[in-house]
Amino acid sequence: MLPKNRMIAALEHTEPDRVPIGELAVDWDTTDRALGIETFYRGGWRELTALWEGRRDEIVDSCVRDLTGLVKKFEWDFVVVPTVHPKRDHYPKPEMLGEYCWRDAKGRVCQFSLDLGGHAMVTEYPPMTIDDLPDPDMPVHLENSEFEAISRVVEQLGNTHFVVARVPDGTFPWRDTVGMADFLERMLTEPEFIRKAIAGGTKRTLAAIKAAASLKVDAVVITVDYCDNRGPLMGPRLFREFVLAPLAECVRTAHNHGIYFIKHSDGNHWSILDDFVAVGVDGWQGIQPRIGMDLRLLKEKYAGKLALIGGVNCDTLTIGTTEEVEQEVRYAIRHAAPGGGYVMCSGNTLMHGTKFENYMGMLAATRKYGRYPIGVW
């Protein structure tokens, strides 16, 4: 069975020949180790400085080369390809406030940690009023160059593998506006600000979904987190008041353009998964068993309704043993794979600090135990 068909079978809740495998994203240290190179794909500080040095095209080339390389190295069935920085003559170095701290063009203060090695964090947002938000009725401008990596990966792998476009997620746009705490507070104190922000962000997401579909991807994924370990960040009521309808519009747009829709959101989702099913989300990625998202219980409730993508805890991959990884793989496959509707993946991404031997063990265990019909061990 081709990798593409294996993934389609899982999303259609039928049994492929074996459990499909892939990842939402991979941080640079795993890619470096796997391919024996220095990647710019999710490259942390090296990617940021390369962009400021005018090496945008090298970053995009690395993204394409290294994602296709990881597909071959790890024998993935699906690959997630992000939009990239649009082509510019110059990306000027921002105002540096410290060695790894700067103010960006939007006035946000950003901080990078070499110890954590992952991604820059915004530590300070400038003031913003409703009048500072873009008019959601204005046309959305997307540049073809933002989809360059997606187009090139589809050209190379689209006939055999399931290609997922990762597009900007405007359904909960706290990062692009005022930060998490202020955004959540304004859901109560300034609902019109929230509606305008989400309307504008979602309109851009819809345009990106259509653009990705035109490139013949198999699916799109949007990736802002709705929940933490306790439940929805804004609570189920406000999620349904503000976020659910925009999410539904994104799903409809994907389906109307003939592609699948996958939602990434890690955290405790028990109180809103019925909403995911109601609006037609095909697959949910970001499953963290250790915080109560038990795959046995998820399968019992959502078999045939929602494809489950995940199952191995990220902390097990970073600080656990290969034996613990294998135990989690076996549990996930035994309880979630029968009947289809299951895809093996980490609980979030292969984050910085993932033990290479643990991930290789996860792949090996999936291939050992993940052949249909699923056995009992």
What is the distance between the alpha carbons of residues 352 and 162, in angstroms, rounded to a whole number?
25
Judged against a pLDDT cut of 70, whether residue 300 lies above it is answered with yes
What is the distance between the alpha carbons of residues 241 and 63, in angstroms, rounded to a whole number?
37
Task: Report pLDDT for 232.
Answer: 98
The yes/no answer on whether domain 3-88+135-369 falls in CATH 3.40.47.10 is no
What is the distance between the alpha carbons of residues 168 and 83, in angstroms, rounded to a whole number?
8
What is the distance between the alpha carbons of residues 84 and 276, in angstroms, rounded to a whole number?
28
What is the distance between the alpha carbons of residues 245 and 155, in angstroms, rounded to a whole number?
34
pLDDT in tens, 1-47: 999 999 999 999 999 999 999 999 999 999 999 999 999 999 999 99
What is the distance between the alpha carbons of residues 319 and 354, in angstroms, rounded to a whole number?
8
pLDDT in tens, 339-355: 999 999 999 999 999 99
> Mean pLDDT in the chain?
97
Q: Is 284 helix (H, G, I), strand (E, B) or coil?
A: strand
- CA dihedral 183→185→190→196, nearest 10 degrees, is 20
Query: Helical H runs in the chain?
Result: 3-11, 28-35, 45-52, 56-74, 148-157, 180-189, 191-214, 235-238, 244-256, 273-279, 295-302, 314-319, 322-336, 356-369
Q: What secondary structure letter does DSSP report for 161?
A: S
Judged against a pLDDT cut of 90, whether residue 118 lies above it is answered with no
Q: What string of H, E and C letters represents the secondary structure of 117-143? A: CCCCEEEECCCCCHHHCCCCCCCCCCC
Q: What angle do CA 303, 274, 277 make, to 5 degrees?
A: 65
Judged against a pLDDT cut of 80, whether residue 185 lies above it is answered with yes
Task: Report pLDDT for 377.
Answer: 67
- Quote the percentage of the chain above a pLDDT of 70: 99
How is residue 239 written in tokens?
Answer: 């999620």
pLDDT in tens, 311-344: 899 999 999 999 999 999 999 999 999 999 999 9
Domain range summary for the chain, segments of one domain joined by +: 3-88+135-369
Mean pLDDT across 287-312: 97
